[in-house]
Amino acid sequence: MVTVSRSRICTMDWISEKTSDRDMDTVRQIRFIWKPFVFIASLVPFALVIGDLFDVTGSLGANPVEEIQDRFGNWGLRYILIALSVTPLRAISHWNWLVRFRRMLGLFAFFYILMHFLTWLVLDQGILLSAITEDIVKRPFITIGFSAFLILTALAATSTAGIRRRLGRRWQKLHNWVYVAAILGVWHYWWQVKLDASDPAIYAVILVALLAYRLWRRRSQARIRAGA
């Protein structure tokens, strides 16, 4: 019969209590310090656009509508890629807490693409239905961008914990569409570049690396499952 001494039980209790205390501290720090910090930092590009619009922080240059649209489009794409980097970074670093930022980062991607879309809708097209449909149908790079926007809208709308729980395994399948949105987003950018494609090429390289990691992880998980 295995006998566990009272002192050992006490020590184990003390250790697990200590560990859960530390975990609680981390959760609290993330919730009350790091999440508000990332939230405020993520609003800086937006605040700078507003500041530049009123010539407070800088200026928007000769073509303000194009500048606003370009900045929002770039930040949207950056946030899509940042949100997609969470899983590989977590796996490499074992910083499991990173996952707590993923939803916020994804929602910021949607926020900036929504601003990009609204700039086009209101300032570029003047909310003119005929001009809007013509642009979406006749300019392929807009058709691609619009498709990506529709995907991101569906993902943002289903990002709550309640919907996640209700959809179960189907939720992950639906949210894998973020990769399609990212591919369409990079393609949309590349298509409308006239001369120097180095910026969309950088986004494309990062996206290919993220996709390669995802494929590799899926294969190795399938191999582990087959061996089990």
Q: Which two tokens stand for residue 125?
A: 């097209």
**Is 69 one of the binding residues for ligand HEM (CB under 6 A)?**
yes
Shortest reach from residue 116's CB to ligand HEM, in Å: 5
**Is 207 one of the binding residues for ligand HEM (CB under 6 A)?**
no
**Is 83 one of the binding residues for ligand HEM (CB under 6 A)?**
no
Cα–Cα dist 6/10, whole Å: 6
Q: Are the C-beta atoms of residues 73 and 187 closer than 8 Å to each other? A: no
**Is 108 one of the binding residues for ligand HEM (CB under 6 A)?**
no
Of the residues 111, 188, 206, 210, which one makes contact with ligand HEM according to CB under 6 A: 188
Of the residues 26, 74, 87, 159, which one makes contact with ligand HEM according to CB under 6 A: 74
**Is 76 one of the binding residues for ligand HEM (CB under 6 A)?**
yes
Cα–Cα dist 122/128, whole Å: 9
Q: Please name the helix (run of DSSP H) or strand (run of DSSP E) that holds residue 60, with its range, or none.
A: none
Of the residues 42, 49, 86, 116, which one makes contact with ligand HEM according to CB under 6 A: 116
- For ligand HEM (CB under 6 A), the number of binding residues is 22
SS3 category, 57: coil
206-218 exposure pattern, b = at least 16 Cβ within 10 A, e = fewer: bbeebeebeeeee
Name the nearest CA neighbour of 156 among 84, 88, 97, 108.
Answer: 108
Is the Cα dihedral 105, 157, 48, 71 positive or negative?
positive
**Is 81 one of the binding residues for ligand HEM (CB under 6 A)?**
no
Shortest reach from residue 102's CB to ligand HEM, in Å: 17
Shortest reach from residue 57's CB to ligand HEM, in Å: 19
Of the residues 48, 66, 175, 183, which one makes contact with ligand HEM according to CB under 6 A: 66
Q: Which stretch binds ligand HEM (CB under 6 A): 1-9, 44-52, 161-169, 180-188?
A: 180-188
Helix 178-192 to helix 198-227 angle, to the nearest 10 degrees?
A: 160
Q: Are the C-beta atoms of residues 141 and 192 closer than 8 Å to each other? A: yes
Q: Which stretch binds ligand HEM (CB under 6 A): 18-26, 67-75, 91-99, 208-216?
A: 67-75
Can you tell me which residue has the tokens 């489009």?
73
* Dihedral of the alpha carbons of 43, 121, 149, 202, in degrees to the nearest 10: -70
**Is 152 one of the binding residues for ligand HEM (CB under 6 A)?**
yes
**Is 145 one of the binding residues for ligand HEM (CB under 6 A)?**
yes
For binding to ligand HEM (CB under 6 A), which residues are involved?
66, 69-70, 73-74, 76-77, 113, 116-117, 120, 142, 145-146, 148-149, 152, 181, 185, 188-189, 192
